[in-house]
Amino acid sequence: MIPIPVANLPRHIAIIMDGNGRWAQQRGLPRIEGHARGAHSVRATVEECCRLGIGQLTLYCLSSENWKRPQTELDFLMTLLEHYLIEERREILDQNIRFTTIGRRSGLPDAVLRQIDENIRISQDNTGMCLCLAINYGGRTELIDAVRDVAAQVRDGKLDLDAIDEAVIANSLYTTGMPDPDLLVRTAGEMRVSNFLLWQISYAELWVTERCWPDFDRETLHQALRDYAGRERRFGGILTTDD
């Protein structure tokens, strides 16, 4: 495996973990088996990102649109999430991970919220990679909440209308204080961003793999990183040379 210079690694990786149900159906298994297997890919990816020194990893766990799924599947996902939060607590501490989440808390079971809050509490002083789980998250919902926050500041006289700029909006997003993603990875071959971090991925490099999330492994991650390292990031400008 060809090593990637640290300077060429993304500071923040965001992943749309797609294809759990498809992976299971292709093997004649219930969809929930795909979600269970996907949890193993989460752990392997978190461990490898920590080893590489990635600053932040954001995982799209549950979108605000996923509530349309069958109740049995949703119940399993909530139970799986609760167990994951408990079982990975030791890993979070051992890896010096700072844990956080983005998304609306309303609608999540109390048991899940308790485990989220506990993981945030015990890891708040950690100085390693930030692991952010997007749970009950939607990019448009986030923008609506940000607009409401900015409007309230203007209404209350805390913010002048003419002072609203990109920084003001960014500070009202769920991700305030976090760097924007440098690399957005999507599994299962889907060519869309699915309402994920719509503001934040404006200049992110996109990388899609045909592999479903349960098959996402260390080598697939390294393939994405090698591809990212070979790209020229211009941010709307042009590259300058010595010529």
Q: Could you list the active site residues?
A: 18, 66
Q: Which amino acid is at 237?
A: G
Taken in order 192, 195, 197, 199, the sign of the CA dihedral is positive
Q: How far apart are CA 12 and CA 214, in angstroms?
A: 22
40 token code pair: 């193993």
Rg (CA), the chain: 19
The full length of the chain comes to: 243
Q: Is 119 helix (H, G, I), strand (E, B) or coil?
A: helix
Alpha-carbon dihedral of residues 62, 66, 71, 72, nearest 10 degrees?
-50
State CA 108 to chain mean position distance: 18
Q: Which amino acid is at 89?
A: R
Q: How far apart are CA 71 and CA 190, in angstroms?
A: 25
Give the CA count within 13 Å in the CB-facing half-sphere of 119: 29
33 token code pair: 């088996």
